Structure 1
């Protein structure tokens, strides 16, 4: 009995000595993800190579939109909701993923990758490309993202794969009262 208590204590101490590598929960002041069933509107967006159609969207605060994303291009593309500063930060993460070989022109090699060894990454030991405001769409595929916009403002929808935003793969999203 004495030995069993020592083993349990030792196990607890061992578990507590390892750091927890959970990423912080990301929150967005412009809204939140929502189930597709809650959508009040569906918007189809066609992704070409270095373009979105349509190039601009108007949405009302409080509206829940189901985005249907169709990649008709030959390259992997991303649909990401945010402001210019958020996109700039995410572009740096995507560049590191590309440099590591995890992101190729047509696919993402793995759903998760170890950022612990990458300088400048603040996501702990691992990160998945599973931000609720973002989805990757492979060539010829369709994906969806549903979002409730909770306040008025000017946002962008963009592809942050290295070079795509700079080549014009960005659209304006205006949320009005």
Structure 2
């Protein structure tokens, strides 16, 4: 393995092991990531095989919520904020990640991340990373966090887009009140 490939692999592993830290300037129509210290409320969401508890969440426009995500299941799960169309698009990306060997049923396969073999050339891996600011992967028995400031929007969901999980019902409604 060349030094360049080793450094690329080390960079990938480091990026995947860091907590979700999105650019505070990145915005979606339903809000933006925020630092945990700015949260006005903390909500714990349990992830089991295959469900969220609670199944619905209520927030207010302008509210900053720190989500504490506890994976009590035996499978890898995701907490992703978005509209149904966003989840549909993200599910295709997640399927590609699974088919490439990057995702396993229980976690992230760091050893199987030979992106050069997939034609992506080192760190240039479009679609082959999980770094969306509105999403976090949580391995079995682990806890993760995502902090979000909400804007007024309709039809928002939180979902697990690991292949098959959304379709099996691992999706909840997130109501944003004005």
CA-atom RMSD in angstroms: 2.1
Q: 1:128 aligns to what SS in structure 2?
A: coil
Q: 1:153 aligns to what SS in structure 2?
A: coil
In 2, Cα distance between equivalents of 1:29 and 1:105: 31
Task: Specify the alignment match of 2:16 in structure 1.
Answer: none
Gap runs ≥5 in structure 2: 1-24
How many residue pairs get aligned? The number is: 148
Q: Once the 2 structures are TM-superposed, how far is the Cα of residue 113 of structure 1 from its aligned partner?
A: 7.2
TM superposition score normalised by structure 2: 0.77
TM superposition score normalised by structure 1: 0.78
Counting only pairs closer than 5 Å after superposition, residues 149-160 of structure 1 correspond to structure 2 as 149-160=150-161
Q: Once the 2 structures are TM-superposed, how far is the Cα of residue 114 of structure 1 from its aligned partner?
A: 3.9
Task: Specify the alignment match of 1:148 in structure 2.
Answer: 149
User: Which structure: larger Rg?
Assistant: 1
Change (3 A) 1:26 1:38: closer
Counting only pairs closer than 5 Å after superposition, residues 17-96 of structure 1 correspond to structure 2 as 27-96=27-96
Q: 1:37 aligns to what SS in structure 2?
A: helix
Asked whether the 8 Å contact 2:155–2:174 carries over to 1, the reply is yes
Structure 1 segments (4+ residues) deviating >2 Å: 110-118, 124-128
